[in-house]
């Protein structure tokens, strides 16, 4: 029966379309921020690069000491902070502007430069090769829940460690069309990678509007900026290349043993970079970052699985949002040496927490062995976990259709909903497992009693056997090769 | 001396799925459903009670008007304390934001702790589960993970409770087939507490019973609820709602049905004995539309449970939630993911009693190894949900300046004081690759098995401290129950 | 009054740097045999620390406190030990190679070796090859430790080994390398003697290699 009543929405309704999650109050964030400013005024940060020191000297506000320590007044920091963009949209070599970095948009991707890889044939670990990076790239390109790619491994089978980054980027491009985060040896390396990317994006200006990658750069905690890091940062500032300056403090060793203290120091390191970039080129696209975790006090491992990593990263993300900076965070990683239940647990907790926090780029997905070992299977496993995590982001629908009061009344006590149209219309909103098994005991046995490890392994092999990314056209390939060859030539002397 | 004012902190993170408006709207849905659709109550005495108290009774169907629900909610206790069996220690506080994780009741099968084979649950398993839970620091209360197969079937619930309460000081949540058996279990609780008055003052167990979705309270379930309310036994009255099968496929619709059918128990309990403790909640998940199983690993379970917890906080009811469970057939990578997901959601939402930690095979098999793994996950989740302490000392500005660029914190007094607050793993491995390799390349599963067996071999629990008199009295209760069953 | 070695060991275990230093001085002032003070006081204490660390009863910050106390006591004793005794305790030169400013791992190893009674010369970070060569000439250490965290700086360690060969002093010293990307195979490849997988095992392996 058609209703004659108008469709009436109740008024004054605020709806949480997504969950809300927050670690710190604004008051707490302010305390951490003021403490970081205090650190920059009192002790500062050491900068091992002459151009940067010159920039600070010429500012007439920063104080540069004999020992290369730079101290910065709060007023200069606050001025610098006003200049950074709140939005950066990355475009892969496939031409899709698929990663829209803006407040509370969350994207997941791998980490980079793992020295070792588990060989899928022998099960033993060995040095990571060019092919390993291409394989990881293809898998990330194929998996729907990965949004950006870092190299996962570090290519070791290259002629010269001083030019490995160009080959590594080439390996990444071969396999993956999604936006990337790249590492480079030094400023010159970054320049080559940027030139390579510009070949796809259609030149320097186009790259600035639709950058293909973010440059990954890290200071050394506590409060130290080495030469090549600063060189890369200044180059990125000059060219308007998005860059993250991401401290990796270990609480108790290279940062205070309290999370708040670690965040203060980490923020001071970030703010110094913010001022440095501001002095070079105000408004360059800088992204805040941090792998904020503890040093395990029994094994001295820099822990990628510690719950503190999740908590501190989420708190750090709260700070980034308050500062209007985009955030590069961490999740989906593990201390386990093997892709096992430990890796599953540590990945799940950190991914769920990172997603809820609203960090923009969540990296290191698939790291095992505390950032030492690469495993292709771990990428496949994490893709499933991210799918579950994103289900939380769908929130709870509370309109008339969601409340289903008429349906409930119609079915009544003791009835069933399986055959109801309402169920037919909505069951597809649920999460669809690809690797999680939900069969009954008999079916499971008759289908070979497979564990999730078995299924992850099979899926990894299937992707490796079948997935072909969109190829690179010959002209572009030639241009890429020229840049690489030129670099080799320069460095062969 | 303080230089500061207007300082508010998040002592813990804040998490929510629903706005105030959304909660109000869902609650109106519950009220409307109870008033218009009502529920089936298959128990004459209970229907009479409800009819006498402004409810509309039509055959089995009972419609509960808003004001009756309001009155019931307003007479709920804001807090209830549950004690160790001897009443000596306050073990659980049933109040907002306090989360106790534990196993679940009644799967038919169990993973044998020696052979690792799946087999019917035996009497000895109840003791094992109680002792293991007694030893695990993050397990807050205990359920059996099974239903005993090798005793008189009609009394497996009573045997289970009789054995378990002697093997852990933690609070037990028991279940029963019917009111007769609840009475036996009540007697056992009284014996352990040291008398009827002592039990009233220091209740030492919580009783679990289950209405049926959609909107049905069967004779035994509501009968047990009635008995517990009369005797002021803290209780849980919760359905296992199956999204897309016994309740709507939309989460809001599901929670409205689940909350409405449980509200029958809340109303009955408060009419009989205002201020008696009752929790609702239960298992909230979906029917897997490919395999047609009730999924214990679906992310929807964690999401709906968190949402339900918010709803119950909104109306002032404690939440009996679900986590640490899986659809896979044994403890493995999948169970690790599903458990970590649901545990973290339950912790974030602040559910009160969170059950089914140790369920595998979609609730068909109990696995205490999974419980042991869950214990570690709960510890990690609790750390994340413990928040960041921000004050002069933790900000550590002086230490940062003293250490300076390029220094380290390993010699700092500040580090000595604070590093022990870092979470210490008991199962998570953080060795270097070389040490791990040298120590035999153990995986998480190997370590879980070792830890579980260490507990079983070495943790005796409190059984030797149970007074001989009490042990005899419990045996008498069991003998009498056997006699009753035989005479039927 | 005789010095109570048990108390000395306890103070060391508790990481009381000043107290251990003072007590060592007292023992010296009383004319006790420095070797005896070393063995029965300091080393006895560090042995317990080592056991407790392995049993997860003590953690790194506490171990390092004890190591610092050990080192403070050794500073008092070292001038008094006979040359052979002082030599017996061991000397180590340690540093991070050129291009690498990461030094927490290297510092951890240095501190742990101090705890083992070694005299440790910590050269610092970002070091030219020649600095290592000169330091080996000057300090005549039993052990040379090098670390690198970056794969780009790893090859520098091989350069140091070669430079030592060229200087004709390679065989005077055992060479230990470490850092996240380093492996036992890599150590072998570049001609180093020992691969230190982590701070604790570095000390075990280092002591074994130089017979201390």
Q: Does the pLDDT value for residue C85 go beyond 80?
A: no
Q: Give me the domain span that covers residue C107.
A: 91-209
Among A314, A416, A436, beta carbon nearest to B334: A436
Please state, in angstroms and rounded to a whole number, the distance separating the CA atoms of residues B283 and B295: 10
> What stretches of A170-282 adopt beta strand conformation (E)?
180-182, 213-217, 224-225, 243-245, 250-251
What is the crossing angle of helices C17-29 and C60-77, to 10°? 20
CA–CA distance, A168 with A131 (Å, rounded to integer): 10
CATH number for the domain spanning C167: value is 3.40.50.280
Measured distance CA(C124)–CA(C126) in Å, rounded: 7
Answer yes or no: do C102 and C204 share one domain.
yes
Asked if C79 and C96 sit in the same domain, the reply is no
Nearest to B409, CA basis, from C60, C119, A72, A312: C60
Binary contact (A115, C181; C-beta < 8 A): yes
Contact A162 C152 (CB under 8 A): yes
Nearest chain C residue to A227 by CA: give it. Answer: C99
C125 touches chain B (CB under 8 A): yes
Domain residue extents for chain A = 19-395+431-493, 400-429
- Interval C71-89 mean pLDDT: 82
Residues C201 and C109 in one domain: yes
Tell me: pLDDT of A467 over 80. Answer: yes
- pLDDT (tens digit per residue) in B353-397: 999 999 999 999 999 999 999 999 999 999 999 999 999 999 999
Query: What residues in B contact C107, CB-CB < 8 Å?
Result: 408, 410
Q: Is C131 on the interface with B (CB under 8 A)?
A: no
Chains with at least 3 CB pairs less than 8 angstroms from chain A: B, C
Residue B432 and residue C125: Cβ atoms within 8 Å? no
- Counted across chains A and C, CB pairs separated by less than 8 A come out at 49
Q: Neighbours of C (≥3 Cβ pairs closer than 8 A)?
A: A, B
Nearest by CB: B411 against C68, C101, C198:
C68
- Residues in chain B closer than 8 A to C104 (CB atoms): 408
Model confidence at A339: pLDDT above 70: yes
Domain boundary residue, one of C84, C117, C137 = C84
Interchain pair C152, A224: CB under 8 A: no
CB atoms within 10 A of CB B381: 28
Say whether A299 and C155 touch across the interface (CB within 8 A): no
pLDDT of residue A424: 94
Contact B253 A369 (CB under 8 A): no
Mean pLDDT of chain C: 90
Give CA separation, A401 vs A316, A430, B373, in Å: 38, 16, 39
Per-residue burial over A69-78, b if 16 or more Cβ lie within 10 Å, else e, is bbbbbeebbe
The strand ranges marked E within chain C are: 91-97, 119-127, 143-147, 174-178, 194-196
- Report d(CA B103, CA B125) in Å as an integer: 13
CB-CB under 8 Å, C61 with B406: no
ipTM of the complex as predicted: 0.96
CB C146 within 8 A of CB C97: yes
By Cβ distance, the residue of B406, B419, B434 closest to C61 is B419
Out of A250, A298, A372, closest to residue C180 by CB? A372
Rounded percentage of chain A residues whose pLDDT exceeds 90 = 97
51-80 in chain C: CB under 8 A from chain A: 53, 56, 59-61
Is C1's pLDDT higher than 60? no
Domain match, C124 and C203 both: yes
Instruction: Answer with the one of C84, C103, C132 that is the final residue of a domain.
Output: C84
Which of helix, strand or coil describes residue C117? coil
Same domain, C29 and C95: no
Average pLDDT for chain A = 96
- For the segment A307-330, what is each residue's pLDDT rounded down to a tens digit? 999 999 999 999 999 999 999 999
User: What are the two backbone dihedrals, phi and then psi, of residue A383, each rounded to the nearest 5 degrees?
Assistant: -60, -40
- Residues in chain A within 8 Å Cβ distance of B300: 391, 430-431
Spatial distance between the Cα atoms of B420 and A252, rounded to a whole number of angstroms: 10
C197 touches chain A (CB under 8 A): no
Comparing A380-394, C80-94, C97-111, the range with the smallest average pLDDT is C80-94
Q: What is the mean pLDDT of residues A381-407?
A: 97
- Picking from C99, C104, C187 by the largest number of A CB atoms within 10 A of its own CB, the best residue to mutate is C104
At A177 the three-state DSSP class reads coil
pLDDT average, residue stretch A223-247? 97
Same domain, C109 and C195: yes
Q: Which residue of A has its CA nearest to B5?
A: A27
pLDDT tier at C26, thresholds 50, 70, 90 = very high
C147 and C174 share one domain: yes
A chain contacts of residue B381, beta-carbon cutoff 8 Å:
307, 349
Q: What is the pLDDT of residue A1?
A: 63
**What confidence score (pLDDT) does residue C117 get?**
86
Beta-strand relationship, B100-101 and B353-355:
parallel
C105 and C201 assigned to the same domain: yes
Q: Give the CATH number for residue C30.
A: 1.10.1240.10
Mean pLDDT to the nearest integer, A358-374 = 96
- Binary contact (B420, C59; C-beta < 8 A): yes
Q: Is B414 on the interface with C (CB under 8 A)?
A: no
- pLDDT tens digit sequence for B161-172: 999 999 999 999
Give the dihedral of Cα atoms A312, A313, A315, A316; nearest 10 deg: 110
How many structural domains does chain C have?
2
* Measured distance CA(A299)–CA(A303) in Å, rounded: 10
Record: contact B414-A256, CB cut-off 8 A: yes
Query: Do residue A254 and residue C104 have CB atoms under 8 angstroms apart?
Result: yes
Closest-approach residue (CA) in chain A for B38: A413
Check if C184 contacts A (Cβ < 8 Å).
Answer: no
Kindly state whether A113 is in contact with chain C, defined as any CB-CB distance less than 8 angstroms.
yes
Verify whether the Cβ–Cβ distance C107 to B406 is below 8 Å. Answer: no
Cβ–Cβ contact A184 with C under 8 A: no
Hey, of A128, A166, A226, which one would you mutate to test binding to chain C, going by the most C CBs within 10 A of its CB? A226
Cβ contact C63:C49 at 8 Å: yes
The answer to whether residues C161 and C191 belong to one domain is yes
Low-confidence ranges of chain B (pLDDT < 50): none
Q: Secondary structure of chain B in the HEC alphabet?
A: CCCCCCCCCCCCCEEECCCHHHHHHHHHHHHHHHHHHCEEECCHHHHHHHHHCCCEEECCEEECCHHHHHHHHHCCCCCEEEECCCCCCEEEEECCCCCEECCCCCCCEEECCCCCCEEECCHHHHHHHHHHHHHCCCCCEECCCCCCCCCCHHHHHHHHHHHHCCCCCCEEEEECCCHHHHHHHHHHHHHHHCCHHHHHHCCCEEEEECCECCCEECHHHHHHHHHHHHCCCCEEECCEEEECCCECCCHHHHHHHHHHHHHHHHHHHHHHCCCCCEEEECEEEEECCCCCCECCCCHHHHHHHHHHHHHHHHHCCCEEEECCCCCCCCCCHHHHHHHHHHHHHHHHHCCCEEECCCEEHHHCEECHHHHHHHHHHHHHHHHHCCCCCCCHHHHCHHHHHHHCCCCCCCCCHHHHHHHHHCCCCCCCCCCCHHHHHHCCCCCHHHHHHHHHHHHHHHCCCCHHHCCHHHHHHHHHHHHHHHHHHHHC
Q: Which residues of A431-446 are buried (b: 16+ CB within 10 A; e: fewer)?
A: bebebbbbbbbeebee
Q: Which of C33, C65, C84 is the last residue of a domain?
A: C84
Q: Do C95 and C133 share a domain, yes or no?
A: yes
Mark yes or no for CB contact B441/A338 under 8 Å. Answer: yes
Pairing assessment for the beta strands A69-71 and A63-64 based on DSSP bridges: antiparallel
Q: What is the pLDDT of residue B1?
A: 62
Q: Is A371 within 8 Å of C180 when comparing Cβ atoms? A: yes
Residue A252 neighbours by CB under 8 Å, 6+ apart: A294, A295, A297, B409, B410, B415, B418, B419, B422, C60, C61
C180 interface with B at CB cutoff 8 Å: no
Best of C52, C58, C60, C159 to substitute, by most chain A Cβ atoms within 10 angstroms, is C60
- Alpha-carbon span A100 to A87, nearest angstrom: 7
**CATH architecture of the domain covering A19-395+431-493:** Alpha-Beta Barrel (3.20)
- Summarised one tens digit per residue, pLDDT across range A28-63 is 999 999 999 999 999 999 999 999 999 999 999 999
């Amino acid at each position: 029966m058609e209703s004659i009543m108008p469709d009436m929405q109740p008024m004054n309704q605020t709806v949480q379309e997504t969950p809300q999650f927050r670690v710190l109050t604004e008051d707490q964030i302010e305390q951490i921020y003021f403490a970081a400013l205090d650190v920059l005024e009192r002790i500062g940060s050491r900068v091992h690069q002459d151009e940067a020191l010159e920039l600070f000297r010429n500012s007439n506000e920063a104080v540069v000491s004999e020992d290369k320590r730079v101290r910065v007044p709060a007023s200069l920091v606050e001025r610098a902070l006003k200049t950074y963009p709140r939005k950066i949209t990355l475009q892969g070599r496939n031409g899709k502007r698929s990663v829209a970095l803006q407040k509370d948009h969350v994207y997941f991707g791998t980490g980079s430069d793992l020295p070792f890889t588990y060989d899928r044939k022998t099960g033993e670990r060995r040095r990571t090769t060019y092919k390993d990076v291409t394989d990881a790239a293809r898998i990330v390109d194929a998996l729907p829940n990965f949004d950006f790619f870092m190299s996962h491994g570090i290519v070791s089978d290259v002629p010269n460690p001083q030019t490995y980054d160009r080959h590594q980027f080439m390996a990444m491009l071969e396999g993956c069309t999604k936006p990337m985060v790249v590492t480079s040896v030094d400023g010159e390396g970054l320049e080559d990678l940027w030139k390579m990317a510009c070949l796809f994006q259609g030149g320097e200006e186009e790259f600035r509007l639709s950058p293909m990658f973010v440059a990954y750069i890290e200071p050394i905690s506590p409060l130290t900026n080495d030469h090549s890091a600063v060189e890369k940062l200044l180059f990125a500032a000059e060219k308007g290349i998005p860059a993250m300056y991401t401290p990796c403090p270990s609480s108790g060793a290279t940062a205070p043993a309290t999370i708040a203290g670690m965040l203060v120091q980490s923020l001071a390191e970030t703010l110094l970079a913010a001022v440095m970039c501001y002095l070079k080129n105000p408004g360059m696209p800088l992204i805040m970052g941090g792998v904020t975790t503890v040093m395990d006090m029994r094994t001295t491992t820099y822990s990628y699985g510690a719950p503190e990593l999740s908590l501190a990263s989420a708190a750090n993300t709260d700070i980034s949002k308050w500062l209007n900076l985009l955030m590069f965070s961490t999740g989906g990683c593990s201390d386990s040496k093997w892709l096992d239940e430990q890796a599953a647990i540590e990945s799940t907790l950190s991914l769920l927490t990172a997603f809820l926090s609203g960090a923009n780029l969540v990296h290191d997905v698939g790291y095992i062995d505390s950032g030492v070992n690469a495993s292709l299977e771990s990428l496949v496993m994490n893709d499933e976990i991210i799918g579950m995590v994103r289900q939380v982001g769908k929130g709870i629908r509370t309109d008339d259709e969601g409340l289903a009061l008429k349906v409930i009344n119609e079915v009544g006590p003791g009835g069933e909903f399986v055959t109801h149209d309402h169920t037919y219309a909505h069951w597809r909103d649920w999460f669809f497992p690809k690797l999680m098994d939900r069969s009954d005991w008999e079916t499971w046995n008759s289908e070979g009693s497979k564990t999730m490890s078995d299924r992850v392994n099979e899926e990894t092999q299937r992707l490796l056997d079948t997935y072909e990314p969109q190829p690179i056209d010959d002209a572009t390939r030639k241009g890429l090769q020229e840049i690489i060859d030129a670099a080799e030539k320069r460095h062969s002397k | 001396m303080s230089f500061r004012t207007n300082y508010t902190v998040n002592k813990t993170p804040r998490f929510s799925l629903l706005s105030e408006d959304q909660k109000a709207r869902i609650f109106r849905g519950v009220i409307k459903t109870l008033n218009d659709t009502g529920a089936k109550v298959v128990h004459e005495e209970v229907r009479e009670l409800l009819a006498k108290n402004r409810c509309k009774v039509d055959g089995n169907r009972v419609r509960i008007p808003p004001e009756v629900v309001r009155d019931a909610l307003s007479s709920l206790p804001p807090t209830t304390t549950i004690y160790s069996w001897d009443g000596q220690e306050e073990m659980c506080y049933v109040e907002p934001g306090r989360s106790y994780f534990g196993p679940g009741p009644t799967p038919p099968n169990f993973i044998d702790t020696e052979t690792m084979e799946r087999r019917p649950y035996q009497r000895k398993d109840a003791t094992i589960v109680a002792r293991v839970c007694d030893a695990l620091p993050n397990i807050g209360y205990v359920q059996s993970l099974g239903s005993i197969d090798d005793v008189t079937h009609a009394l497996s619930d009573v045997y289970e409770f009789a054995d378990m309460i002697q093997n852990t000081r933690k609070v037990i949540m028991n279940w029963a087939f019917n009111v007769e058996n609840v009475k036996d279990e009540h007697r056992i609780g009284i014996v352990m507490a040291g008398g009827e008055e002592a039990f009233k003052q220091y209740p030492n167990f919580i009783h679990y019973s289950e209405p049926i979705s959609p909107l049905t309270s069967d004779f035994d379930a509501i009968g047990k609820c009635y008995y517990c309310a009369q005797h002021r036994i803290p209780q849980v009255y919760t359905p296992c709602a199956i999204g897309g099968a016994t309740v709507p496929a939309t989460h809001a619709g599901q929670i409205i049905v689940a909350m409405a059918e449980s509200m029958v128990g809340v109303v009955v309990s408060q009419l009989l004995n205002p201020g008696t403790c009752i929790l609702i909640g239960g298992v909230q998940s979906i029917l897997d539309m490919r395999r047609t199983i009730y999924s214990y690993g679906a992310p929807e379970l964690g999401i709906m449970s968190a949402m339900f917890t918010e709803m119950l906080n909104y109306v002032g009811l404690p939440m009996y939630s679900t986590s640490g469970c899986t659809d896979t057939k044994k403890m493995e990578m999948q169970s690790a993911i599903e458990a970590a997901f649901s545990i973290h959601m339950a912790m974030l939402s602040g559910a009160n009693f969170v059950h089914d930690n140790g369920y595998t095979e979609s609730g068909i098999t109990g696995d205490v190894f999974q419980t042991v793994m869950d214990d570690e996950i709960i510890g990690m989740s609790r750390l994340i949900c413990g928040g960041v302490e921000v004050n002069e000392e933790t900000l550590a500005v002086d230490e940062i300046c003293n250490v300076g660029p390029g220094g380290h914190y390993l010699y700092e007094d500040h580090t000595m004081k604070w590093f022990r607050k870092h979470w210490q793993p008991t199962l998570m491995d953080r060795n270097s690759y070389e040490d791990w390799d040298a120590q035999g390349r153990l995986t998480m599963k190997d370590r879980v098995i070792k830890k579980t067996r260490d507990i079983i071999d070495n943790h005796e629990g409190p059984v030797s401290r149970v007074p001989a008199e009490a042990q005899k009295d419990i045996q008498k209760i069991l003998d009498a129950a056997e006699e009753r069953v035989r005479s039927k | 009054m005789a010095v109570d070695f048990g108390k000395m060991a306890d103070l060391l275990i508790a990481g009381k740097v000043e107290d251990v230093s003072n007590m060592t001085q007292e023992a010296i002032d009383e004319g006790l045999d420095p070797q005896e003070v070393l063995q029965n006081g300091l080393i006895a204490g560090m042995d317990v620390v080592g056991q407790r660390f392995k049993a997860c009863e003590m953690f790194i910050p506490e171990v390092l406190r004890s190591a610092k106390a050990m080192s403070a006591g050794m500073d008092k004793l070292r001038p008094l030990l006979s040359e052979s005794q002082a030599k017996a305790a061991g000397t180590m030169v340690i540093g991070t190679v050129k291009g690498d400013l990461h030094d927490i791992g290297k510092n951890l190893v240095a501190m742990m070796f101090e705890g083992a009674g070694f005299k440790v010369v910590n050269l610092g970070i970002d070091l030219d090859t020649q600095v290592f060569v000169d330091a080996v000439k000057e300090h005549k250490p039993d052990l040379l430790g090098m670390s690198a965290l970056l794969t780009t700086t790893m090859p520098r360690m091989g350069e140091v080994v070669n430079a030592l060969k060229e200087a004709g002093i390679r065989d005077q010293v055992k060479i230990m390398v470490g850092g996240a990307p380093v492996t036992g195979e890599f150590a072998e490849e570049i001609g180093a003697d020992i691969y230190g997988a982590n701070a604790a095992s570095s000390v075990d392996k280092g002591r074994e290699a130089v017979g201390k």
